[in-house]
Amino acid sequence: MNIKAINPATFLMLFCCAYTKAALADAEVEDYFAMSPAELANIPVTIATGTPRPMFQSAAITSVITADQIKSMGATELHEVLETVPGVHASLTEGGNDYNYTIRGIKNTANSQVLILLNGTRITTPFIGTLMTGTEMPIEAIQRVEVIRGPGSALYGADAFAGVINIITKKAGDINGTRAGVRAGNWDTQSTWGQHSAELAGWNVATSLQYQHTQGDGGRIMNADAQTAFDNALGTNASHAPGALNSRYETLNGHLNLQRKHWDIGFWGFNSMDAGTRAGVANALDPKGVANGEQYLSDVRFSTEDWLEDWELTAHASYLHTDFLAQFQAFPNNAKLPIGPNGNINLSNFSLISFPDGVNANVGRSENIPSMELTSIYHGLDRHVFRLNTGFRYEEISTTESKNIGTGVITDNTQTVVNGQLTNLTGTPFVYLADTNRSIWSLVAQDEWQIAKNWQLTSGVRYDNYSDFGGTLNPRLALVWDINEQLTGKLLYGRAFRAPNFSEQGTQNNPVVLGNKHLKPETINTTELAFDYRPLLSLHTTLNVYYYEINNLISAVPVANGLNQYQNNGNQNGYGSEFEWEWQWNQQWQIKGNYAWQHATNADTKQRITGVPEHHIYVALGWHFSPQWQLQPQLNWISGRTRSLNDQRPLDDYETVDLTLRGKKLFKHLNLAASLRNAFNEYPLEPATLQLPQNLPLAGRSFYFEASIDF
């Protein structure tokens, strides 16, 4: 062969591609070592980049995002990861302004319609049915995120309603040594982390610790807030608006995992040390207020493994503890407010009182949730795997409160001035929520039946008995048909429920809304038809259509002048479709993305559900331009959010573009990354509560640099 015949370009191409392939192979086989047999058994070998799916969830519509994909997209917070899942949109909750994961047009004020698990254990708490306020879990400790879109109550119980988010952290096999990293960006954002795995006295031990700090985007300006309205009406000048949302935070997050045969023990600690109150606890900006908390989760799992021939028996015990304290100004210094005879704000029967030191409060709560589950899996019968599970969970909250406003504090509303002195209401009937608890028993039965070579039927049912509102039964049925090598079809039906939370049941002494002890759970019935199509070895697509009906929606219903009460009031219907594709064009280029469309309406008024995107498009282009370097631009487009008739606040479509450059295993041990987020400095708005005169801006343009070392 004439060596001249190979021109330099060809030579370069051969050289580079040969290396790219080797580098990819080397990088990824480690991920396969970390997978369980069930995950390995579910990777289609005909697609370029298979993603693992736990076996018993494959009878649902799921998405999995791996640590490697998270790094490629440049995400540093969980909401950035979840925003890329079809049908999922990260909006903001009312009040706390935490991320609110809208799924398929299903959204409520607190995000209690989505169940969030950490390594399979529930970490949403019963106070408002979501994560502790300000929980911003760092990304580095996460090995993968699994998202079920659609109902999951037949397995997971309450609140697996619009979907389930399961965050899986890194185990010893994933860390495999020592890793340390630092990241810094604008807005005074810094993060540092260390991870270590070792074998200790027969245990595989994994530890990780991460510190993260940011001042938040000072450009998220609120031109007016709830205090502005009082200023305008009463001629005062107290509001901090125009001013930025107080989105600063400082967190410390640690995980410990111990594994050996039969045992899997986990511990998670999260501490938020200086978290701002975003738009303000009462929707009035509060630059000095803090909303801090800490939470701990202990988890022990035991399995009989090889003790029994046809059975596996497992036990799982967990204990979740959260301790939250917000110290804040509900209204700023020199506010003047209309106070009614009961000491609360009252717009119809009031006298005006000045608060020269502001309206101040310390509001705390502590939640304790022990739980226990026993599972038996029987696989002695040909073509069947039976699963029987019984569980018990106890949920408890105790509250603290001191403030200089409200019932039990201002007893005489003829006084004209109230100073900043706080009155402690803890343990009195005037506190915002009385200490309370409930217990939950549950029973799950499920059968996975391989009817024929290409047909699998999963049927299951779960019964939950709540000590407060009673029992609820939630079945599911999933028929999976492997039509041919390229095409798989799924027909799914499931029923799910959302349990009324403590806040909806017991809110008291609140000027705007009161709880209701007689609430029933919300229910949803969902039917889905899904196809998984792999027309080429390197192209993977999925398409689904769904229809759901929600009954007994819980909302705040006006009961008296200016006062509301939580009631089961309203039904919602929705249908839509999600399309996903992933195309490994060649070894250097990959394009993937998804399009989600939904049409959700209020079943009574036939009006579209407001504030949720009708269209959502995500596209990412991966360019592996050298063996170790990758560039990934991505686009996210949110469109078609409607507003209620009397809401004139702008809520335009928006699109954001991110750009991430990443180098892996440089000099074998060094990883580098740089990312530009929201590159064109788009001004995205998310719907705010009606008490705010404008919708809430998300973060503007930002950037960071990151370096980490794997030993």
Partner 1 sequence: MHYLSFDYLSRRWGTIINIIKWLWVVLSLGGLLFSGTLYAGDIEYKIKAGYLYNFTKFVTWPEDTSATFNICILGNDPFGDLIDPIEQRTAFGKPIKLLRLENNSTLAKISKSTLCHILFISSSIETPPTVKDAKNVLTVGESEHFASNGGMIGFVTEDSRIKLQINRQAFQLSELKVSAKLLEVAEIIEGGNHD
Residues near partner 1 (CB under 8 A): 21-22, 24-26, 28-30, 32-33, 35-38, 40-50, 55, 173, 176, 199, 202, 261, 303-309, 311-312, 377, 379, 385, 453-454, 482, 485, 488, 534, 536-538, 584-587
230: nearest Cα among 693, 686, 644, 561: 693
One-letter identity of residue 51: T
Shortest gap between Cβ of 41 and partner 1 (angstroms)?
5
Shortest gap between Cβ of 369 and partner 1 (angstroms)?
27
Do 286 and 332 form a contact (C-beta atoms < 8 A)?
yes
Do 367 and 321 form a contact (C-beta atoms < 8 A)?
yes
CA 79 – CA 500 distance, rounded (Å):
25
Shortest gap between Cβ of 595 and partner 1 (angstroms)?
22
Shortest gap between Cβ of 388 and partner 1 (angstroms)?
14
Number of C-beta neighbours around residue 321 at 10 A: 16
β-sheet bridge partners, residue 552:
none
Q: Which is nearer to partner 1, 3 or 25 (CB)?
A: 25
Q: Which is nearer to partner 1, 583 or 683 (CB)?
A: 583
β-sheet bridge partners, residue 423:
403
Q: Which is nearer to partner 1, 301 or 616 (CB)?
A: 301
Shortest gap between Cβ of 145 and partner 1 (angstroms)?
20
Q: Which is nearer to partner 1, 485 or 561 (CB)?
A: 485
- In the block, which residue shows the tokens 């990819």? 24
Shortest gap between Cβ of 630 and partner 1 (angstroms)?
16
Q: In what order do the strands lie in the sheet with 142-149?
A: 61-66, 142-149, 163-169, 114-118, 121-122
Phi-psi region of 318 (alpha: psi -120 to 50; beta: other; left: phi over 0): beta
Shortest gap between Cβ of 146 and partner 1 (angstroms)?
17
Q: Per the structure block, which two tokens stand in for 436?
A: 């309370």
295: nearest Cα among 461, 453, 118: 118
- In the block, which residue shows the tokens 């060809």? 10
C-alpha distances in angstroms, 499 versus 190, 365, 412, 426, 569? 38, 20, 39, 26, 15
Q: Which is nearer to partner 1, 303 or 459 (CB)?
A: 303
Q: Which is nearer to partner 1, 176 or 571 (CB)?
A: 176
CA 95 – CA 110 distance, rounded (Å):
8
CA 372 – CA 180 distance, rounded (Å):
35
Shortest gap between Cβ of 711 and partner 1 (angstroms)?
11
C-alpha distances in angstroms, 23 versus 17, 28, 642? 10, 9, 47
CA 111 – CA 104 distance, rounded (Å):
13
Shortest gap between Cβ of 78 and partner 1 (angstroms)?
27
* DSSP line for 425-436: -TTSTTSSS--E
Q: Residue 69: is it exposed, middle or buried by C-beta count within 10 angstroms (0-12/13-18/19+)?
A: buried
Q: Which is nearer to partner 1, 35 or 543 (CB)?
A: 35
Q: Which is nearer to partner 1, 379 or 615 (CB)?
A: 379
Q: Which is nearer to partner 1, 198 or 512 (CB)?
A: 198
Phi-psi region of 507 (alpha: psi -120 to 50; beta: other; left: phi over 0): beta
* DSSP line for 551-606: ES-EEEEEEETTEEEEEE---EEEEEEEEEEEEE-SSSEEEEEEEEEEEEEETTT-
One-letter identity of residue 394: Y
Shortest gap between Cβ of 264 and partner 1 (angstroms)?
11
Do 381 and 365 form a contact (C-beta atoms < 8 A)?
no
164: nearest Cα among 176, 179, 149: 149
Q: Which is nearer to partner 1, 319 or 378 (CB)?
A: 378
The secondary structure element, H or E, covering residue 10 is helix 8-33
Shortest gap between Cβ of 26 and partner 1 (angstroms)?
7
CA 330 – CA 599 distance, rounded (Å):
37
Do 63 and 85 form a contact (C-beta atoms < 8 A)?
yes
Shortest gap between Cβ of 51 and partner 1 (angstroms)?
11
Shortest gap between Cβ of 314 and partner 1 (angstroms)?
9
Shortest gap between Cβ of 42 and partner 1 (angstroms)?
6
Shortest gap between Cβ of 645 and partner 1 (angstroms)?
50
Antiparallel, parallel or unpaired: β 384-403 and 423-424: antiparallel
477 phi/psi in degrees, rounded to 5: -145, 130
Q: Which is nearer to partner 1, 54 or 218 (CB)?
A: 54
Residue 203, helix vs strand vs coil: strand
Q: Which is nearer to partner 1, 43 or 679 (CB)?
A: 43
Q: Which is nearer to partner 1, 385 or 409 (CB)?
A: 385
One-letter identity of residue 30: E
CA 81 – CA 658 distance, rounded (Å):
12
Q: Which is nearer to partner 1, 8 or 202 (CB)?
A: 202
Q: Which is nearer to partner 1, 428 or 586 (CB)?
A: 586
Shortest gap between Cβ of 511 and partner 1 (angstroms)?
55
Shortest gap between Cβ of 588 and partner 1 (angstroms)?
9
CA 337 – CA 238 distance, rounded (Å):
11
CA 272 – CA 254 distance, rounded (Å):
12
Q: How far apart are the first and last CA of the chain?
A: 44
Q: Which is nearer to partner 1, 144 or 183 (CB)?
A: 144
Q: Which is nearer to partner 1, 199 or 653 (CB)?
A: 199
